[in-house]
Amino acid sequence: MQALHVRSLPSRPTQQLASPAGPCSGGVAPCRSTAQLIAACSAGSASATGGSGASQQRSRRGVTAQTGLSSSGPSSSGSSGSSGSSSSSSSSSSSSIPSSGSGAGATQRGAAAAAVPGAAVAAGAPYAPAAAGGRDLDAPAPGFHSIPEALAAMAAGEAVVVLDDEDRENEGDLICAADRVTPQLMAFIVRYTSGVVCVGMEGADLDRLRVPLMVSSAENEEAMYTAFTVTVDYRHGTSTGISASDRAATMRALADPAAQPQDFKRPGHIFPLRAREGGVLRRPGHTEASVDLCRLSGCHPSGVLCEIVSEDGSMARTPELLAFAQQHGLKCITIADLVRYRLCHDKLVEATAAAQQQTRWGPFTLHAYRSLLDGSEHLAAVAGEPSAAAGAVLARVHSESMLGDVFGTQRCDSGSQLDAAMEAMAAEGAGVVVYLRGQQGRGLGLGEELSAYAAADACSASCDNPAALEDSTFPVDARDYGVAAHILRDLGVTSVRLLTSNPDKAACLAAHGIEVEQVAPPPPGASPAHANGASKGAALV
């Protein structure tokens, strides 16, 4: 998923949301926007959940590392693969294609690999992310409840404790569905929180009720850009509006689709918050979490939320929040887990067009897709009927490269790798190449890639593509592949034999529920710069 450009105001400093070092982003530099955060979250995890004490506690709070692990969390000692070239160039194209009949390497669906970027993947090797220290993206962070458990609790009218990232607000909120809140539950919320009770709402509901923003977006000086609206009270059957019963009545009325603007007094004692469209995938805050949780639990998408405080009035932190949830029998989750749950279960792409094309490799059906998060377009080249295949489908996730795919530069073997993959799938009669656009120069962009080449040329004439990027000020690999998993799933492909020597791709597909039965390096390309098979780039295609 490409970055979503988030508007920032130069008049005041923006707060860094998180610092990811995720696997499918190749160890990206600290996030500078919510968009980069979500791009990092869309990949699988490269960190295990090991460790104990404070370090483990920090690791299970991070929103940005792909399984909810922060970059400071402990790494797995059991990485899959080893460094070096992915395969010998003497191998023929056919010998490196895994056969469809091999099932010995079937993986646990939904697990993420703890693989080292650039590690070699042996031809025909089974893919075993669980053994490498990964964890299922549907599993909660250690010490927390699962998202389905929280959804069931909210559907039953209960409150849940929701924690955000330590690098963000670093707080926990009590959240419940506005259409099911009772005076008793509201009294409980007021007793154990700051008392500034808010309700996250969708923009459509606020517009219908004519509840405007308290200040314009340009004037918003709140630290996390929380979109406060004017305060309201329900007009009918309430007194001052401050009691628990009055506030509960206002909440239920705000969540009532039949409510009208004239049903509310302004100002009041309830603070509606305008949630960002796209929910936690666009802004990983408590406002969006409250709306997402209500929607996913079958309630009206309006969620009551308020920050939990300690007895001394300070904000409660992780150990106290976990103890609080246990003491009161509440489910406790993280926004990180909610992000990952949505990435696994939501439909994030839509098919926009399809047409059969006669290519130089044979007939392929080309499917166009649009990301529902950022509007970016991608392509899937399908040979035969892979959805009807009895076994795992031959597949490749290919990042767009104008220099390699179009101009055939000798410093990038992307074009020859694409040729070899398409030829192999045409020969087998079935297969899928997911062509991800917007990933030029390993996600850095065309201009940055050329600048990196120029910088490398100034240092040494022998630098190849990865070395050029390493010598620049940019990360070696800034790509993520989560959208590819959603495209494969839309095509009916749930199990693949993946043509790649980049462990990040296998980890990311597995993290999003695609069973990676085997991985094999793509057939060796014809680019002279990679003819000896020793290029660092050969391990990351």
Number of residues assigned to the chain: 541
Closest CA to 17 of 32, 7, 5, 38: 32
Give the pair of three-digit tokens for residue 232: 């309201």
Q: State how far the Cα of 307 lies from the Cα of 134, in Å rounded to an integer.
A: 32
Is residue 422 within 8 Å of residue 384, measured between CB atoms?
no
Closest CA to 529 of 479, 446, 461: 461
Per-residue pLDDT of the chain (541 residues; tens, 9 = 90+): 333 333 333 333 333 222 222 323 332 222 223 334 344 444 333 333 333 333 333 333 333 323 232 223 323 333 333 333 333 333 333 334 444 443 333 333 233 232 322 333 344 444 444 433 344 556 777 789 999 999 999 999 999 999 987 766 678 999 999 999 999 999 999 999 999 999 999 999 999 999 999 988 778 777 777 889 999 999 999 999 999 999 999 999 999 999 999 999 999 999 999 999 889 988 889 999 999 999 999 999 999 999 999 988 899 999 999 999 999 999 999 998 998 888 888 888 999 999 999 999 999 999 999 988 778 899 999 999 988 777 899 999 988 877 656 666 666 667 778 888 999 999 999 999 999 987 554 545 666 666 666 666 666 555 455 544 444 444 444 456 788 999 999 999 999 999 987 888 888 888 788 899 877 876 655 433 433 333 333 334 4
pLDDT tens-digit series, residues 103-151: 333 333 233 232 322 333 344 444 444 433 344 556 777 789 999 999 9
Distances (CA, A) of 32 to 20, 211, 533: 10, 31, 36
Q: State how far the Cα of 248 lies from the Cα of 181, in Å rounded to an integer.
A: 6
Give the pair of three-digit tokens for residue 393: 């489908």
Active site members = 477, 479
DSSP H or E stretch at residue 320: helix 318-327
Q: State how far the Cα of 308 lies from the Cα of 460, in Å rounded to an integer.
A: 57
Determine how many CB atoms are found less than 10 A away from the CB of residue 535: 22
pLDDT of residue 84: 36
Q: State how far the Cα of 541 lies from the Cα of 162, in Å rounded to an integer.
A: 39
Give the pair of three-digit tokens for residue 163: 């924690």
Q: State how far the Cα of 25 lies from the Cα of 394, in Å rounded to an integer.
A: 24
Distances (CA, A) of 525 to 77, 317, 418: 33, 53, 9
| 519: phi then psi, degrees, rounded to nearest 5 | -125, 150
For the whole model, what pTM was predicted? 0.60
Is residue 269 within 8 Å of residue 238, measured between CB atoms?
no
Q: State how far the Cα of 110 lies from the Cα of 512, in Å rounded to an integer.
A: 6
pLDDT of residue 220: 77
pLDDT tens-digit series, residues 461-511: 554 555 444 444 444 444 567 889 999 999 999 999 999 878 888 888 887
Strand partners for 82:
120
Domain annotation for the chain: domains and CATH numbers: 147-344 (3.90.870.10), 347-459+477-519 (3.40.50.10990)
Handedness of CA 378, 384, 387, 391 (dihedral sign): negative
The residue to which tokens 């091999």 are assigned: 102
Looking at residue 280, its amino acid is V
